[in-house]
Amino acid sequence: MTSRIKETFSKVNAQDQTALITYIVSGDPDLDTTLKIMDTMVEEGADIIELGIPFSDPMAEGISIQRGHERALKKGTSLKSALDLVKKFRSTNSITPIVFMGYMNTFESMGAERFMIEAVDVGVDGILIVDMPPEESSSFSEQAKKYDIDIIRLIAPTTSSERAQKISSQSSGYIYYISVKGITGASNIDSDDVKDKVGILRTYTDLPIAIGFGIKDSDSASSVKDVADGIVAGSVFVDLIGQGEDIIEKVASKTKELSKVLQ
């Protein structure tokens, strides 16, 4: 079976577009709403959905996404309930790739193999564990390979060429290039630097490259879209969700806006 992620990038690339990857936190503000948000995002042009798995100590997140994690945890959301959510989503959508993005401890608490078995079963396509650099990922890498789940890895502006090469060789699905030194929702994106670094990255890998961490609006999205295969937008959506009113309408219009920029 060709992976959904691969299929999606082939399709987007063939149309000379950039994929829109949207991030939201599972269970924020509650699981039913998250499901509606996912469907809405797909309708309005999202190509891949990154589902944040809430954690009590999300070290790499800015304040917007931290609050999202807190809201989801208040409702008792766990990795298990995120898997159930994907099962529901898949009953009406068998195309859009789903990537779980979270922190080591929640995944490890379930166990690498048990997680992979359930992930395959419900239709999760990839995982991105923020605090799991290649050096610390042996059991997850092994299990992911065995169950055909993509391991998406981060490459940062601080990553050396040598290291970037090594990380690329241990990645699958796509590479997530962090566009800023900082946390999610940062606002200091330097599009020239991103272009240079991604250009170098291309010489090491044929995997699609997605850019994230500093993309919050059409301007920042369009500033880097030409060098990327995908753009990740997260904090902007989690902020809208945090406002608590007319969530679906707001998410729909923001998705549409970003999707239009990327076409």
Partner 1 sequence: MSKELLPDKNGRFGVYGGRYVAETLVPALEELSEQYEFIKKDKNFLKEFRDDLTHYVGRPSPLYFAKRWTELLGGAKIFLKREDLNHTGAHKINNTVGQILLAKHMGKKRIIAETGAGQHGVASATVAARHGLECLVYMGEEDIQRQSLNVFRMKLLGAEVIGVSSGTSTLKDAMNEAMRDWVTNVDDTYYIIGSVAGPHPYPQIVRDFNAVVGEEVLEQSKTEIGQDPDVLVACVGGGSNAMGLFYPFIENKNVRLIGVEAGGLGLSSGKHAAPLNDGKEGVLHGMRTYLMQDDSGQITETHSVSAGLDYPGVGPEHAWLKDIGRAEYVTADDEEALEAFKELTRIEGIMPALETAHGIAHVKKIAPSMSKEQSIVVNVSGRGDKDINTVADIEGIEL
- With CB under 8 A as the contact rule, which of the stretches 12-20, 157-165, 190-198, 236-244 interacts with partner 1? 157-165
Interaction of residue 166 with partner 1, rule CB under 8 A = no
DSSP structure class, residue 56: S
Of 124, 144, 117, which Cα lies nearest the Cα of 132?
A: 144
Of 253, 202, 260, which Cα lies nearest the Cα of 229?
A: 202
Of 174, 175, 217, which Cα lies nearest the Cα of 197?
A: 175
Give the residue with the Cβ less far from partner 1, 2 or 160.
160
Interaction of residue 121 with partner 1, rule CB under 8 A = no
User: Per-residue contact track with partner 1, 25 to 54, x per CB under 8 A?
Assistant: ------------------------------
How many residues touch partner 1 (CB under 8 A)?
43
Q: Measured between alpha carbons, how far is 126 from 161 in angstroms, rounded to an integer?
A: 25
Q: Measured between alpha carbons, how far is 58 from 144 in angstroms, rounded to an integer?
A: 23
- Whether the CB-CB separation of 172 and 205 falls below 8 Å is answered with no
Contact with partner 1 (CB under 8 A): which of 12, 86, 154, 238? Answer: 154
Q: How far is the CB of 239 from partner 1 (least distance, A)?
A: 16
DSSP string, 62-122: -HHHHHHHHHHHHTT--HHHHHHHHHHHHTT-SSS-EEEEE-HHHHHHH-HHHHHHHHHHH
Interaction of residue 80 with partner 1, rule CB under 8 A = yes
- With CB under 8 A as the contact rule, which of the stretches 36-44, 156-164, 199-207, 220-228 interacts with partner 1? 156-164
Contact with partner 1 (CB under 8 A): which of 110, 120, 248, 252? Answer: 110
Of 157, 195, 199, which Cα lies nearest the Cα of 178?
A: 157
Interaction of residue 60 with partner 1, rule CB under 8 A = yes
Q: How far is the CB of 248 from partner 1 (least distance, A)?
A: 27
Give the residue with the Cβ less far from partner 1, 42 or 232.
232
Strand partners, 126: 99, 150
In the complex, the residues that contact partner 1 under the rule CB under 8 A are: 55-60, 62-63, 66, 70, 73, 78-80, 103-110, 130-133, 135-136, 153-160, 163, 167, 178, 181-183, 186
